[in-house]
Structure 1
Amino acid sequence: MRKGWNGPARLLDGAGIAATIKDELAERVRVLTERGYTPGLGTILVGTDPGSVAYVAGKHRDCAEVGIASIRVDLDADATQEQIDAAIDQLNADPACTGYIVQLPLPRGIDQNTVLERIDPDKDADGLHPMNLGRAVLRVSEPIESPLPCTPRACIELMQRHGIDLEGADVTVVGRGTTVGRSIGLLLGRKDINATVTSCHTRTRDLAAACRGADVIIAASGQAGLITADMVKPGAVVLDVGVSRITDPSTGKTRLAGDVADGVDEVAGWLSPNPAGVGPMTRALLLVNVVEAAERRAGIR
């Protein structure tokens, strides 16, 4: 929210802030290790989707940077529900695993909700277990000592670390997916943030109007180029969280695209790029969830 702004937008540097967070975490991990607690992040990857493979590999590189142990469980793309359930049970019982994630999306035929509900809520590094989402709903006026959804938390952390005041701000969220759209309103509406949230999606009747009135737009629909410059109030904060795969018909090559169209940077006051915006922050906040879980176990939090 930058009054009288004429553009271009300032960068919300997710990569830079994520690096700072990892530096902070390395010190916290050092303290934990001295007390006999080495945090461990587990991942369950089903199949060989290139995006998922790269994302999981990045998470384990992050772990190595800050001193968190890595536990990988890789399953074939044709893994059955029973095999995935067994991998979850394995990590639930593993004392070396402080927290873990099941990489989404899962192959067709696998019940995602059943998978998420099987995770031990205290080891839910993504913060997507129904119990943890329920805690976020109920404890709107007090600190939540349980994992929070990583990407919504990353969006808020990214803005706060750039000095953006969300107190009383009008925030329009575009998207209703589990990982961002449905859960970020829970965090933004908490009394320690006090934003006012409008939840929209691609079928909202007048999406442009809902966006034009917003101090902050969080675009997480997965529809490439959905948010255009004419939908953005001058000086607004725009976070591009959506990811789509676009195929060039002339070459057949596929590239990743965000929800925010070219030209928004000439209107917005702040803009998170895609990639290098919220993505690195999500990975960093995943590590934060793991370290916080270890600190709770060690009696530090």
Structure 2
Amino acid sequence: MPVLRTPDSRFSNLPEFPFEPHYREIEDPRLGSLRVHYLDEGPADGETILCLHGEPTWCYLYRKMIPIFVEAGFRVLAPDLVGFGRSDKPAAREDYSYASHVRWMADWLAAVDPGPVTLLGQDWGGMIGLRLLAEHPQRFARVSLSNTGLPTGDHAFSEAFLRWRDFSQQDPDFDIAYIVNLFDRGDLSDAEKEAYRAPFPDDSYKAGARQFPMLVPVTPDDPAAADQRRAWQVLTRLETPMLLCFSDADPITGGADAPFRKLVPGAAGQPHCTLAGRHFIQEENGPAWARAVIDWIRAG
């Protein structure tokens, strides 16, 4: 199956998005070379913040937070996961697995090699980022999570998530902008909606987005479950500072911060906060998350 690349013209004149694209090539053992797009803003010698997006968004999601970090003197890296944004998109759904997403981002991070970073992870950005943390803890100085988790398939999922998973497989259009609007405040402008649609000229580009919900481990024998349990074994011993900034009205991950508070040593004694908003907190209250992270880093 081919690897697709969204035409650059799709990303022209996006609202609130003046950032220049950057690219790195990584090698996949089956697919060959894959181009990963990322933003690289702020001083090259600044302390680095790594922003990982989730499903079905791209680094555009962090556009309201990046200038705040840069103004505070930080370098910001914000990649597009493979299958999203301006990154390459394998066209076959079977080309995507939880393990492949982790490997792709690990290879990209090693190629960019920014030194220890502060990770911001939301949705799949947290699910991938936490696996990276467990497998490569030396690459992370701190972690801040919002509206995410690290499921092993050993516990029941919310009805909201199961309905979302069914929708992702059954809806014929799978309109990315509709999804972001549905799980956000619901008032994206027409231009913002088109920005979220930009990476996907047609349904053939949406294989990664369609597949992501099916990669969440929902049963104990899921292909990713063993790796998830191994990651938890590391996290329960890890002292890397962890700041939890979950939303107060997320129907998908409400309460998912509790295991981190209880089990992760690095989360103990941190100034965790609750942010007003739904699932895509970067859209609704991103500046508050950014300021909480800045204050946290400076206080440390």
Q: What is the TM-score with the length of structure 1 in the denominator?
A: 0.30
TM-score norm. by structure 2 comes to 0.30
Higher relative contact order (CA 8 A, sep 6+): 1
